[in-house]
A and B are shown apart, each in its own frame.
Chain A
Amino acid sequence: MSARVLPYVLILPVTLFLCLFFLYPFILVSQQAFSNGSELTLDNFREVTSHWKFPISMKNTLLLAAVVVPIQVALALLMATMVSKMGKGRDLVLYIWTIPLGISDLAAGIIWLAIFDQSGFLNSMMHGLGVIDKPLNLLSYQHPGVVFLAIALAEIWRATAIMLVILVAGIGLIPKEYYEAAEVFGASPWKRFLRITLPLLRPSLQTALVLRVILAFEIFAVVAALGGTLFPVLMGETYAYQFDLLNSRAAAAMALIILGISIGFTLIILRVLRVPKGASI
């Protein structure tokens, strides 16, 4: 086979697969969201946005992302720089730090349930320290702050690893000469981080943020395991429309809203962290 045709033959399976199971369902979901069975309409969107739970779940989803993502960026940057100058033990530490990457959001929710549950380890610890006499039902409507904290902690615990991996790979691409030169000129470690690592890490930061923010808007199972109905989020409402209310048009409209937010934020991140042409390494 000639070298002109071969690449197209090789990418054909993926392209076909993605057209059939990615682009086509995407068109289907849009159709469903904008129709009431016979004509084009915005009724489905009106229906879901006017539901009393919609503003709350929107607020919860955005608030959670706004709290969790910046902490994860800071934590991942810290971990990545710590690992970059580690000698022995680097492999072990990196393995431990990337373990949550393989853990599903549902399992992460269950893990933090073991801590925050009424008979859980947090209560046991507080009891051991003499702070409380009998266990508190922490994950209840009386403690909305604790519910939020538990979900946020579970998210930070679970999903920082993906950013860490991307940033460690990105730091590995920065030529060592820059650091050596900076050291010769007497730049402090903090200055080296600020003037070399951060700017050169921009493409990786961009990827990590886009991926993370999109996943943050998809938060679902962690909330289901820890907060249940106490903390409604967009994806959970979508699931409820599809399953409990058997209203797939409303679910499709919710899906498009989540998609819209994701695309909006992706564009903002790409714009804010854009890499000037010709400045990449």
Chain B
Amino acid sequence: MTDAVASAPGADTRKSARFLYVSAVVFLCAWVLVPIYFLLINTLSSPETVTSFPKPFLPEFDMGSLTFFAGFAGILTALKNSVVVAGMTMVMSIVIGAPAGYALSRFEFRGKGLFRLLILLTRAFPLPLLALPLAVLFIRTGLDDTAFGLAIVHTTLAIPFAVLITFSLFSGIPIELEEAAWTLGCTRLTAFTKVVLPLILPGIAASAIFAFVISWNEVFAAAVLTIENRTLTAFLLQNLDTSPLHLKFAGGFILVVPALIFIFAVRKYLFAMWGIANR
């Protein structure tokens, strides 16, 4: 594959192939980034500019839209609710999911196949639909329109991922490490907390962030299950018909920003998790 082997006529086609390849990569990067840039322009423009025509292709760094967004009745509460629900989802899915990931990676037990099937089934299921019966159930138990109730539904969404990610993380740590700790006098628990836990903590954090993003982005269940305590996605969805454009764009931008940061934080683990999950 080195250029030195290439004969003279081959070098020319190789050069153009290389050019095609690089421009395709650049084009696909632009395909992802340019729409986000457009949203950024709208967010950083005054409300008047947002509805004006033709549009400038550079942001004017006017905080008008964002100030309007922050001052819009109920939106800061919605933002707070989104964070609270996502935080709860994050904690619950890890606390409930991680032990199962550990069990899958370390033990052979009867019913393991069935258990994996249940997890995979959950993933292959239009889960937000379950918000419909849960709405009734929650009214009976007093969980309706609460952050906790919604967090439960979001945890159902996040748990298959939490189990699969932690499963792949634990599988990446040789059991010999734990066994060595046992021979040195650790119990199963202390070996886990002193040897395994420090090693996988970053990975656990990554899968927690992933759970946060799942909840942060979820629209359907949030819109069905909350009325007063709406999350940001539910708030924006229910005001789509009535809210002015600059509110939509500012809201959309606030939704996108954490995504940019979080995907950056978990980028290393994205691929590891799917690699294991497919085996």
Contacts and interface: CB of A to CB of B under 8 A. Distances in A.
A binds B: yes
Contacts, number: 270
Contacts of B202: none
A207 B277 contact: yes
A113 B173 CA distance: 46
A56 B99 CA distance: 46
Contacts of B129: 29, 218, 238, 255, 258-259
B168 to A, nearest CB: 10
Given A11-B99, A25-B134, A168-B271, A114 B224 contact: no
Interface in B165-202: 188
Interface in A146-195: 157, 165-166, 168-170, 172-173, 183
Given A106-B233, A170-B278, A266 B219 contact: no
A4 B233 CA distance: 45
B218 A104 contact: yes
Given A82-B21, A96-B29, A242-B132, A111 B100 contact: no
Interface in A95-137: 95-107, 110-115, 117-121, 123-124, 127-128, 134-135
A173 B279 CA distance: 9
Contacts of B213: 102
A262 B126 contact: yes
A107 B233 CA distance: 8
B61 interface: no
A257 B271 CA distance: 33
A7 B107 contact: yes
Which size class do A's interface residues fall under?
35 or more
B230 interface: no
A114 B35 contact: yes
A17 interface: yes
Contacts of A172: 271, 275
Interface in A6-56: 6-11, 13-15, 17-18, 21-22, 25-26, 28-29, 32
Contact of B153 (A21, A29, A135, A242): A21
A251 interface: yes
B69 interface: no
Given A124-B53, A255-B132, A7 B109 contact: yes
Given A169-B274, A218-B128, A235-B220, A99 B233 contact: no
B76 interface: no
B4 interface: no
A96 B37 CA distance: 13
A14 B133 contact: no
Contact of A26 (B1, B130, B188): B130
Contact of A251 (B31, B102, B132, B258): B132
Contact of B259 (A1, A3, A102): A102
Contacts of B68: none
A25 B133 contact: yes
A132 to B, nearest CB: 10
Interface residues of B, number: 95
Name the residue in B106, B152, B220, B258 with the highest tally of chain A Cβ atoms < 10 Å from its Cβ. Answer: B220
A210 interface: yes
B2 to A, nearest CB: 12
Interface string B101-136: 011101101001001001100111111111011111
Contacts of B224: 239, 242-243
B54 interface: yes
B85 to A, nearest CB: 13
Interface in A243-257: 243, 248, 251-252, 255
A111 B251 CA distance: 11
B38 interface: yes
B260 A102 contact: yes
B132 A95 contact: no
A119 B50 CA distance: 7
Contacts of A102: 213, 217, 258-260, 262-263
B123 to A, nearest CB: 7
A259 B237 CA distance: 23
14 contacts: A9-B99, A11-B103, A21-B156, A26-B130, A98-B267, A101-B270, A102-B213, A107-B252, A114-B42, A157-B35, A183-B1, A218-B220, A224-B237, A248-B132
Given A79-B28, A127-B53, A170-B278, 5 more contacts: A10-B103, A106-B217, A110-B249, A111-B39, A157-B32
Interface of A: 1, 3-4, 6-11, 13-15, 17-18, 21-22, 25-26, 28-29, 32, 78-79, 82, 86, 91, 93-107, 110-115, 117-121, 123-124, 127-128, 134-135, 157, 165-166, 168-170, 172-173, 183, 203-204, 207, 210-211, 214, 217-218, 220-221, 224-225, 228, 235, 238-239, 242-243, 248, 251-252, 255, 258-259, 262, 266, 280
